[in-house]
Amino acid sequence: MRTLAVLSRKGGTGKTTIGLHLAVSAFHAGHRTLVCDLDPQRSALDWRRERQIAGPDVIEAKGGALFPLRQNAERSSVDLMVLDTRPASDADTSEAVRWADLCLIVVRPCFFDLKAIVRTVEQVTNMNQRGLFVLNQAPARRNGEEPRQIRDTVMALEELGLPIASTGLRYRAAYQTAVRQGLAAQEADPDSLAAFEMNTLWRQVSRELWPPVQKGRPTEAAKAAVRELTAA
């Protein structure tokens, strides 16, 4: 089982939107997927109540209960747990970071988000966890060029030392419309630009969570096993 935590100390960056969209992608990829709503606002649960079709399960959870929850999930053959966190760097969020295989740090291209993200990065790196920035609600290109605020944000994120997802998400009404209906944008309109960028983000995230096995190159463990066998 893999665990994906979606984080940012700032409110409204898009944690729940991204967590749910990736959970839907995982579900359609055939993974048994469970979203744990760690935010007392319970937005993920609200989304699940609106949803009329099959999809990832959503449960409410507390940071302190994550350990037994993970054990139960593993026993129930859950493949992916998505932890939707509250906008804070509190004990609950620390627990989410602790149990995550990958922490998505959601950031909008603006000064206040960048200021707030520093503490989240510290939380992730101090616990030796893997982090990936996702740029969300990015304004559209102007005259074929990325707006200055995006270029500045990317430069600022690079300084923080964690990788940046190769696909950022633009500000698109399609995300809001889909979520209101308990759907993900890739379900509401599979040919939309929102669907395209979300599918691309999911491919990167799933590669990070389940790295492809390198064929033809023996791993260190395999080399050690061969050494042991030949020594015997």
Ligand X SMILES: Nc1ncnc2c1ncn2[C@@H]1O[C@H](COP(=O)(O)OP(=O)(O)OP(=O)(O)O)[C@@H](O)[C@H]1O
Q: Given the rule CB under 5 A, which residues bind Mg ion?
A: 15-16, 43
How far is Cα 232 from Cα 170, in angstroms, rounded to an integer?
Answer: 59
Contacts of 164 (CB under 8 A, 6+ apart): 132, 133, 134, 135, 154, 157, 158
Query: Judged by CB under 6 A, does residue 12 bind ligand X?
Result: yes
Question: In whole angstroms, how close is the CB of 174 to ligand X at the nearest point?
Answer: 8
Q: Closest separation between CB of residue 91 and ligand X, Å?
A: 17
Interface with ligand X (CB under 6 A), residue from 33, 43, 93, 153: 43
Which does residue 190 touch among ligand X, Mg ion, none (CB within 5 to 8 A, set by kind)?
A: none
Give the nearest distance from C-beta 168 to ligand X in angstroms. 9
* Helix, strand or coil, per DSSP, at residue 156: helix
Q: Which of the listed partners (Mg ion, ligand X, none) does 64 bind, with a CB threshold of 5 to 8 Å by partner kind?
A: none
Closest chain position to Mg ion (CB)? 16
Look-up of token digits 């096995």: 213
Structural contact between residues 36 and 69, judged by C-beta atoms closer than 8 angstroms: yes
Closest separation between CB of residue 70 and ligand X, Å?
Answer: 22
Contact flag: residue 171 with ligand X (CB under 6 A): yes
Indicate whether 120 belongs to the interface with ligand X (CB under 6 A).
no
Selection from ligand X, Mg ion, none that 176 binds (CB < 5 to 8 A by kind) is ligand X
Strand stretches in 51-154, DSSP E: 57-60, 80-84, 102-107, 131-135
Q: Is 148 helix (H, G, I), strand (E, B) or coil?
A: helix
Least Å from the CB of residue 86 to Mg ion: 7
Which residue stretch of 6-14, 71-79, 118-126, 149-157 sits at the interface with ligand X (rule: CB under 6 A)? 6-14
Among residues 87, 116, 154, 156, which is the contact residue for ligand X, using CB under 6 A? 87
- Of 150, 169, 183, 201, the one binding ligand X by CB under 6 A: 169
Residue among 135, 108, 129, 117 at smallest CA distance from 201:
135
* Stretch of 13-21, 56-64, 119-127, 148-156 lying at the interface with ligand X (CB under 6 A): 13-21
Q: Interaction with ligand X in 44-83: which residues (CB under 6 A)?
A: none
Instruction: Please state whether 172 falls in left (phi above 0), alpha (psi between -120 and 50) or beta.
Output: beta
49, with CB counted inside 10 A (0-12, 13-18, 19+), is exposed
3-state SS class at 76:
coil
Q: Does 136 bind ligand X (CB under 6 A)?
A: yes
CA atoms of 197 and 209, how far apart (whole Å) = 18
Q: Which of residues 20-39 bind ligand X (CB under 6 A)?
A: 39
